[in-house]
Amino acid sequence: MRARLEGMGKIFNNQVGFDRWNRGTEWPMAIISLVFLGVYAYVVIGNLRPSDTDWPEVLMNAIWVLFALHYVISLILVPHTGRWFLTHLHELAIVVLPFLRPLRLLRLVTLLSVLQRSAGAALRGKITLYVGFTSGLLVLIAALAILDAEQNHPEANITSFGDATWWAVVTITTVGYGDHYPVTDLGRWIAVGLMIAGLGLIGSVTATLASWFVEKVREAAQEHDSAVVHEQATSQAEG
């Protein structure tokens, strides 16, 4: 019994330490992720190579090191290592596949948790803000990632940021006009991920609208019932 209590106390202390570390690094890591997004966008849209200028690559590699350190420290501090490992596979991909630069943009998921806590208490407000921000972020990330993967391929038809943004919008909305499409393997995997995300977002929007309509119908029914009760009460009083 004593050993069990000591074990529970250790888990509690580890959880407190991890929560403190997570809260303390949340905003700094979100800002670092935005810096990476800006530098990555500069490199991709300008179609720069290390021979053109080397500071962006140095900065992005330094940011990757920070991502790796944050992942390792979090993995050490978290009390339930296996569960955390499985729910943070995107961070593992960032660390073990540094040569795939678009994967580092997944670190922007941190912004979603920050946004969720600052969206207020209203559930629908949280969902609306969350879906809106996520949609815009996914379009931007996918446009940069697909342009990075496609623009230097000899058969590419996505060769500008405008083309990439248009492709990302029609893909995430599952419209898919087919005027622009990926020809590289990496580009196709990016398309698969964006289509899955688009289906999830459409489901969230549909569920939100459905709950709004149900609530409005319920409010209208309650107002009607209240009016009927009031009219009956008035008639009885007059009688």
Q: Where are the domains of the chain?
A: 1-110, 119-239
* 174 φ/ψ sector (left φ>0, alpha ψ -120 to 50, else beta): left
Our measurement of the distance from residue 58's CA atom to the centroid of its chain's CA atoms, rounded to an integer in Å, reads 26
Query: For a pLDDT cut of 70, what percent of the chain falls above it?
Result: 71
Check residue 184 and give its pLDDT: 94
Asked whether the predicted pLDDT for residue 234 surpasses 50, the reply is yes
Asked whether the predicted pLDDT for residue 164 surpasses 80, the reply is yes
Asked whether the predicted pLDDT for residue 191 surpasses 60, the reply is yes
Collapsing DSSP states into helix, strand and coil, what is residue 50?
A: coil
Q: How far apart are CA 33 and CA 30, in angstroms?
A: 5
Average pLDDT rounded to a whole number, residues 184-196? 91
Asked whether the predicted pLDDT for residue 213 surpasses 50, the reply is yes
Lowest mean pLDDT among 66-75, 88-97, 153-162: 88-97
Residue 5 confidence class, pLDDT cut points 50, 70, 90: very low
The helix (run of H) or strand (run of E) holding residue 161 is helix 161-172
Query: Do residues 198 and 173 touch, judged by C-beta distance below 8 A?
Result: yes
Residue at token pair 């997570």? 22
Burial (Cβ within 10 Å: 0-12, 13-18, ≥19) of residue 224:
exposed
Q: At what angle do helices 185-238 and 123-150 cross, to 10 degrees?
A: 160
Average pLDDT rounded to a whole number, residues 117-129? 58
Check residue 6 and give its pLDDT: 47
Residue 121 confidence class, pLDDT cut points 50, 70, 90: very low
Average pLDDT rounded to a whole number, residues 107-113? 69
Asked whether the predicted pLDDT for residue 172 surpasses 60, the reply is yes
Average pLDDT rounded to a whole number, residues 210-235? 67
Check residue 79 and give its pLDDT: 83
Average pLDDT rounded to a whole number, residues 19-41? 87
Check residue 199 and give its pLDDT: 83
Kindly report the CATH class assigned to 119-239: mainly alpha
